[in-house]
Structure 1
């Protein structure tokens, strides 16, 4: 039974990684998106950001090297990733629910990392009692706080989706199922942890057993159910719209912030040339996309004059 549980956890982890890679590749291979070209962008030079400037202000900018401000991007990305800054600014009532859920998940991820480190310390330096004690204190706090926050946030988001008339329009059955799955999985994890008795292995012992494939551990039914449901949830996430953490990267870097001039990017030039050769067949008459003209030809036409000729 324990061996099967370990295999399931490893399989779910592989499915999660495969899903994340597949999702990222699918976004990366998509056609060029229409850029926002709204300034400032965070990677602009710092002195231009306050007034919304860009490299277009430079005389003969096309002949000068571009400067990428990584620190400027990080100043925007980190608060957005950790604290959902945009949601705080534009939809504060939803922020309280969403932040609790997402930050709780971050704490649970940190807990998993701390547990893995603690398991490695047990093997490599079993005499390091002080290090193990510090790690134990850390993952105990992050684990409990993360589970409570994520559970409360998921429940609050579920209630909001059910009760809010406006949000209900955009709520699919899958959205409710996803949140319910989180609530049940997190609830079982908390219950298994809080009701654990002495014979049952601790969380650290379970992680050590998983990493060493120790099949001698005997897990109670509640703990097994919690682990199975959580592992399946992890494997499920990247194959749904809950993988928006991947899509968000491409939305910011390929749509909102991408201002690379085509003159300085040969691959970009090739893609644009390829797209201009397409022959669209749109039904909108004003576009004049009848399947005979390419985008390059359509771009040189004046719809108003074409109407006059008719």
Structure 2
């Protein structure tokens, strides 16, 4: 697909002030090219399917894990009566008899600060935050980029002309797409490189890092560089990329694309499918960290769901065979908890 321009509307490489019309004209395609584009057309659907299945399976697996041990951290952030003073309901001997009134606004404030500002990392490891935050900010911008691409593609399918010089929403969509995409690639690349250098330069961190840790950062760095190169050389207004997205969301056969855009699409879709298969799945598993561990203060009452869960877990077999346990798969946790201990 190549840009075909005529006077009247800005093109993808127009300088500020110039106005000429530009639309995408399909490149001639061989049979091999048709097969390649058909395969590329299936990639976004496949990547989203892998993402959805992986998220659901991991969510179910974590939800079925044994009941956590209460952290009893202070303050309990969403405790509407005591969090402001640094305390919690657990200060009271009969805490389970006290009515619990959650501060949902406070809970939301904590979650948003953790997601978008990495507040925990900022407060506890500022040096890491300076490297990690650009990486995460780049991911947020890439998400915004994807949303704007889809919105622009749908608008184009409805007959709108999405160009930076168009008026109203169409112009904002085009400009926002360019800013989010280019800034996202740049910041993501910077953050990936900074984290990679830190892992390689810190002896302790290097020793505790796995091959997957380095691979993850290299994949994101390569994706960022590829996106910037594609933007600079062949797709300065993301016209090719938006055209492909339009074909995907409208279920129409896509036109041929420059090979750099092909590679950019494959890279982005591969990361979408890859992320939930790695420890980077914390983008959704953190829900359990907060709601099932840090903030779960539901009392264990007689006849409750928690009591039934605890009883079931006490029946699990203990494989640990240390001298003071001697489980060896024959004892249950109830046996271990009630038998007389041995001297070590």
Settle same-fold status: TM greater than 0.5.
Answer: yes
Indicate how the Cα distance of structure 1 residues 271 and 139 shifts in structure 2: closer, same or farther if over 3 A, else same.
same
Structure 1: segments with no counterpart, 5+ residues: none
1:191 aligns with 2:191: no
* Structure-2 residue corresponding to 1:259: 297
1:104 corresponds to which of 138, 144, 151 = 138
* Structure-2 residue corresponding to 1:209: 247
**For residues 285-304 of structure 1, what are the alpha-carbon distances to aligned partners after superposition, in whole Å with 9 as ceiling and x for unaligned?**
3346476654334434453x
1:55 and 1:61 in contact (8 A); partners too: yes
* Structure-1 residue corresponding to 2:280: 242
Aligned pair count reads 305
Indicate how the Cα distance of structure 1 residues 292 and 3 shifts in structure 2: closer, same or farther if over 3 A, else same.
closer
Once residues 242 and 257 of structure 2 are traced to their aligned partners in structure 1, the CA distance between those partners, rounded to angstroms, is 13
Indicate how the Cα distance of structure 1 residues 286 and 241 shifts in structure 2: closer, same or farther if over 3 A, else same.
same
2:318 and 2:331 in contact (8 A); partners too: yes
Give RMSD over aligned pairs: 2.6
Q: Secondary structure at the match of 2:212?
A: helix
1:173 aligns with 2:206: no
Bigger fraction of residues in helix: 1
Once residues 264 and 124 of structure 1 are traced to their aligned partners in structure 2, the CA distance between those partners, rounded to angstroms, is 60
* Structure-1 residue corresponding to 2:220: 182
1:189 and 1:227 in contact (8 A); partners too: no
2:248 and 2:254 in contact (8 A); partners too: no
1:49 aligns with 2:83: yes
2:325 and 2:336 in contact (8 A); partners too: yes
Indicate how the Cα distance of structure 1 residues 198 and 71 shifts in structure 2: closer, same or farther if over 3 A, else same.
closer
1:201 and 1:218 in contact (8 A); partners too: no
* Structure-1 residue corresponding to 2:198: 160
1:126 aligns with 2:160: yes
**For residues 223-262 of structure 1, what are the alpha-carbon distances to aligned partners after superposition, in whole Å with 9 as ceiling and x for unaligned?**
1112112211221111111212233221222222221111
Q: TM-score, normalised by structure 1?
A: 0.88
1:189 and 1:226 in contact (8 A); partners too: yes
2:47 and 2:270 in contact (8 A); partners too: yes
Once residues 225 and 78 of structure 1 are traced to their aligned partners in structure 2, the CA distance between those partners, rounded to angstroms, is 34
2:320 and 2:328 in contact (8 A); partners too: yes
Indicate how the Cα distance of structure 1 residues 199 and 281 shifts in structure 2: closer, same or farther if over 3 A, else same.
closer
Indicate how the Cα distance of structure 1 residues 59 and 91 shifts in structure 2: closer, same or farther if over 3 A, else same.
closer
1:66 aligns with 2:100: yes
* Structure-1 residue corresponding to 2:147: 113
1:39 aligns with 2:74: yes
Once residues 183 and 167 of structure 1 are traced to their aligned partners in structure 2, the CA distance between those partners, rounded to angstroms, is 19
- After superposing on structure 2, the runs of 4+ consecutive aligned residues of structure 1 that deviate more than 6 Å are 197-200
1:14 corresponds to which of 29, 37, 49 = 49
2:240 and 2:257 in contact (8 A); partners too: no
**For residues 170-219 of structure 1, what are the alpha-carbon distances to aligned partners after superposition, in whole Å with 9 as ceiling and x for unaligned?**
11112111111111122112111111169994332222122123335220
Q: TM-score, normalised by structure 2?
A: 0.80
Once residues 200 and 252 of structure 1 are traced to their aligned partners in structure 2, the CA distance between those partners, rounded to angstroms, is 39
1:200 and 1:218 in contact (8 A); partners too: no
Indicate how the Cα distance of structure 1 residues 191 and 213 shifts in structure 2: closer, same or farther if over 3 A, else same.
farther
Once residues 236 and 118 of structure 2 are traced to their aligned partners in structure 1, the CA distance between those partners, rounded to angstroms, is 40
